[in-house]
Amino acid sequence: MLLDVCPVAAAATPPIGWQKYVETGANVDFPNEIFTQDAGPPDWGYGRRFQTSVGRANLTVNSIANNDHDSPASFLRMPFALPPSAAVYRRVTGGFFAVSGFYNKRILV
């Protein structure tokens, strides 16, 4: 038996809106009712940063050119990548990678 408890106020709340952001090499749907502010370009590569209205959280979508034709595994060994010790989740295949973890008081996904 599965029991799902949901407060009445939460049940009446409409679902969060989503927006698609497309950049060369990156395509992501994000909750645009949470990340409402355009925070400019990322620190490196191509893309965009979005943040909450009070600036406590941000979402960065970026891509960089793979001029050296690195595999996903070799790309993750580069110095700017999330250190292996900081990763909570890591999946690497021949065609893509997904990594998330905690680093410098940030949650990285």
15/11 Cα distance (integer angstroms): 9
User: Do 103 and 80 fall within a single domain?
Assistant: yes
**pLDDT tens digits in sequence order for the chain, 109 residues long:** 333 333 444 445 556 799 999 887 678 899 999 999 999 998 888 889 999 999 889 888 888 888 899 999 998 888 766 777 888 888 999 988 888 888 777 777 7
Query: Residue type at 54?
Result: V
In a domain, 92, yes or no: yes
Cβ atoms of 108 and 87 closer than 8 Å: no
Query: What is the dihedral sign for C-alpha 74, 80, 84, 89?
Result: negative
Residue 109, domain member (yes or no): yes
Asked if residue 59 and residue 38 are part of one domain, the reply reads yes
Note the pLDDT tens digit of each residue in 35-50: 999 999 988 888 899 9
Domain containing residue 72: 66-109
Question: How many whole angstroms separate alpha carbon 30 and alpha carbon 40?
Answer: 16
Comparing CA positions, the residue from 64, 33, 67, 65 lying closest to residue 50 is 33
Do the domain assignments include residue 11? no
Q: Mark whether 32 and 48 lie in a shared domain.
A: yes
Whether 2 is covered by a domain: the verdict is: no
46 and 80 fall within a common domain = no
